[in-house]
Amino acid sequence: MTMRSWMIRLTFASLLAAAPAGAAPLATQLFGSVDTPSNQQPMPIGGYDRGCAAGLVELPETGPTWQAMRLSRNRNWGMPVTIEYIEDLSAKVQAAGWRGLYVGDIGQPRGGPSVSGHQSHQIGLDVDIWMLKPARLDLSRAQRESISSVSVRSEDQRSLNGNWTPALGEVLKLAASDPRVDRIFVTAPVKIELCRTAKRKDKEWLQKIRPYWGHDSHFHVRLKCPPGATLCKTQTPTVKDLSKGGDGCDETLTWWVTDALNPPKATKKEKPAAPKRGPRQYTMADLPKQCSGVLASP
């Protein structure tokens, strides 16, 4: 047994021993305790918000047109197709006047649920890209911990602020036009602006831009299950279905900046619903059975 294998097994044994009697350890603890990828062929396992990943590779901390941010989190691991996509996109955005990209979280070394920060990013096919236009690509590790991205959304959540630029719109078009992309999550005002300015023939990439909460300072790229990834679960409904075959620039989009921000007041006291279990409460029993092998791999 190699030293690496021995250390992994010792870590898991310690976590199992620390769990309360009769309770299974949380998957966040198990996956968060491993700082190296599994020695397996690359494979996304399960769904984006309920899975793990074998054979992930690390995005180099710095490249000619990118820098990985918040290195202390150790979440710059992804499927080979994800790393290739980031490298390709970071070079393409130079056509929009950007030096490259500041890259946020991709995933943990073996994917799986994380203790904080994400509901998804579990199978190595998600990546957060900062809205902040890089001024330089030689930031130190310490600088990458202290610098922050910028929000492009107004405080009332209904429109864009002065941090938005047409060039960022071009970056998003480049990001979404790649056939490897399934969808991209942005704050709703970004989608509204793109609907206002994009050409009507741009339906194919525009329908991939999806409004969702919490994406005002970064855009979240989700890639499709790669060819041959038999254990990867494709997300449904598709963006084509969500957009009813169109570009998503319809009445459903304005809901995000109108009714969604003004929910109706309750007319009577209702018993609070029991909180739903989310990824932070998952145990290994909630994940695909192959994830145990990913954790056990040297």
Structural domains of the chain ordered from first start: 39-260 (3.30.1380.10)
Q: How far apart are the first and last CA of the chain?
A: 9
Is residue 19 predicted with pLDDT exceeding 90?
no
Mean pLDDT of 256-274: 78
Quick: pLDDT tens for 184-200.
999 999 999 999 998 87
- Which whole number is the average pLDDT over 41-53? 98
Average pLDDT over residues 46-74: 98
Mean pLDDT across the chain: 91
pLDDT reading at 31 higher than 70: yes
Q: Which of 191-200, 210-219, 285-294 has the lowest mean pLDDT?
A: 191-200
Beta strands per DSSP E along 36-191 = 43-47, 50-54, 57-58, 62-63, 66-68, 77-78, 101-103, 126-130, 181-186
**Both tokens of residue 159?**
């429109």
- Look up residue 137 and give its amino acid: L
- Provide the pLDDT confidence category of residue 119 given band limits of 50, 70 and 90: confident
Mean pLDDT, range 121-145, rounded to an integer: 98
Enter the pTM of the model. 0.90
Instruction: Report the distance separating Cα 23 and Cα 18, nearest Å.
Output: 10
The pLDDT score that the predictor gives to residue 1 is: 43
pLDDT at 240: 93
